[in-house]
Amino acid sequence: MNKLAIAFVFAVFATLVPHVYAGVPGNPLCCACLSADLAQTSGNVTAQTALFCAPSAVGSEEELALRCAAMPGDAKLTCFNTVDNSSCSADLAGVGIRCPGSTAAAPAASPLNLATLAVSLAAVGALLLHRRRRA
C-alpha cells in the first residue's frame, strides 16, 4: 500500500507541475478585457474601467481571450507592451485603462487541476480511513 501511495502522489504532482502559476517570463504583454457596451451619456470620459487586467506572455493570449469572451456583454481583449520595472495596472493606466481592484488576481484553476485535487483528496481520505480501520 505504501508504494501505491507514493506512486499516486508522484502522479498527482506530475500532472500539476505544468499548470503551476510561475509568473510571466521576459517582457510580457499587459492585457485588459474591455466591455464594448460602455455608453458615454455626457462628458468626456478619459479612463475606461476594464472587466479584468492580467499580464500575458507574447503569443499566449488565447487563454485570456477565452476568459474575456465568457464575460457578459460584448467584451474584447486588448493587449499592450509593458514597460520594464512597472506593474501591469500602471502601464494600462498610462493608456487610459483602469484595472479593477488593487491586488493581483489569483490564478484560476483549470478543470484538470480541480479534478486532480478532488481525486487526491479522495485518495488521502481513503488511505486515512483504511489506516484507521486497520489499527
Which helix (H) or strand (E) segment holds residue 12: the answer is helix 2-16
Q: What is the pLDDT of residue 7?
A: 62
pTM: 0.50
Q: What is the pLDDT of residue 73?
A: 78
| pLDDT at 92 exceeding the cut of 50 | yes
Q: What is the pLDDT of residues 40-63, one digit of tens each?
A: 444 445 568 888 888 888 777 888
Q: Taken in order 63, 68, 69, 75, is the CA torsion positive or negative?
A: negative
Q: What percent of the chain has pLDDT over 90?
A: 10
Most confident of the following: 7-16, 31-40, 81-90: 81-90
What single DSSP character describes residue 76?
E
